Amino acid sequence: MWLCIVPPLVKYSPETTLLVVSNPVDVLTYVAWKLSGFPSNRVIGSGTNLDSSRFRFLIADHLDVNAQDVQAYIVGEHGDSSVALWSGISVGGVPVLSFLERQQIALEKETLEKIHQEVVHSAYEVISLKGYTSWAIGYSVANLARTILRDQRRIHPVSVLAKGFYGIDGGDVFLSLPAQLGRSGVLGVTNVHLTDEEIEQLRNSAKTILEVQSQLGI
């Protein structure tokens, strides 16, 4: 199917930026990149932009604040092996975990894990209830398209060529990292601080995707 879609797109719109919304999105973004022959900055997967919105909503609900004031990213693979960046969460510019520590309020690891699991399972829950997800991904992709078309230079966690970042090696792999987007696609990957544990999880995410890719023979 990708063979019917990507080469004609490239033929008739050689200067376009491809925004891949599919499943599994990271592997298919890699395939689209390979088939297109485009530079990697012009091939983007919707990645964990949606997971991150779900994450912000659940954190806001838990802390009883407005989701718009929460900055939080999920990176890595869209879905099961995604990585929640707990160390970087802030509300109104205040880093959450260190703030709670200073207030001696314990936010237990199980609570954090439960919120992340809810993010991972939210798609399954919507699908079990109505058969598909549509509104949230539609809104999420409209946001990405707006950032790109209007050259807004906003940072979104999206699937980009991640080789070389955070020690990810072993092959070309697309997975989500916070990236600045604009009219020419990916303008850069932001150097967000990750803990050693988060980096380890991210590398495992990359390994999972590379294993799937190695079976494609591309």
Ligand X SMILES: NC(=O)C1=CN([C@@H]2O[C@H](COP(=O)(O)OP(=O)(O)OC[C@H]3O[C@@H](n4cnc5c(N)ncnc54)[C@H](O)[C@@H]3O)[C@@H](O)[C@H]2O)C=CC1
Binding site for ligand X (CB under 6 A): 1, 4-5, 21-23, 25, 46, 50, 78, 132-133, 137
CB-wise, 112 or 137, nearer to ligand CC(=O)C(=O)O?
137
Do the Cβ atoms of 33 and 174 come closer than 8 Å?
yes
Binding site for ligand CC(=O)C(=O)O (CB under 6 A): 23, 50, 123, 133, 137
DSSP 8-state code for residue 67? G
CB-wise, 20 or 91, nearer to ligand X?
20
Do the Cβ atoms of 28 and 44 come closer than 8 Å?
no
Q: How far is the CB of 158 from ligand CC(=O)C(=O)O (least distance, A)?
A: 14
Nearest to 144 by CA among 120, 179, 173, 174: 179
Q: How far is the CB of 2 from ligand CC(=O)C(=O)O (least distance, A)?
A: 17
Do the Cβ atoms of 74 and 55 come closer than 8 Å?
yes
CB-wise, 24 or 95, nearer to ligand CC(=O)C(=O)O?
24
DSSP 8-state code for residue 89? -
For residue 143, the SS3 value is helix
CB-wise, 133 or 143, nearer to ligand X?
133
Catalytically active residues, by annotation: 78
Listed in sequence order, the DSSP H helices in 88-178 are 96-102, 109-130, 135-149
Q: Rounded to whole angstroms, how far apart are CA atoms 181 and 44?
A: 9
Q: How far is the CB of 160 from ligand X (least distance, A)?
A: 15
Q: How far is the CB of 105 from ligand CC(=O)C(=O)O (least distance, A)?
A: 31
What are φ and ψ of residue 76, in 5° steps? 85, -145
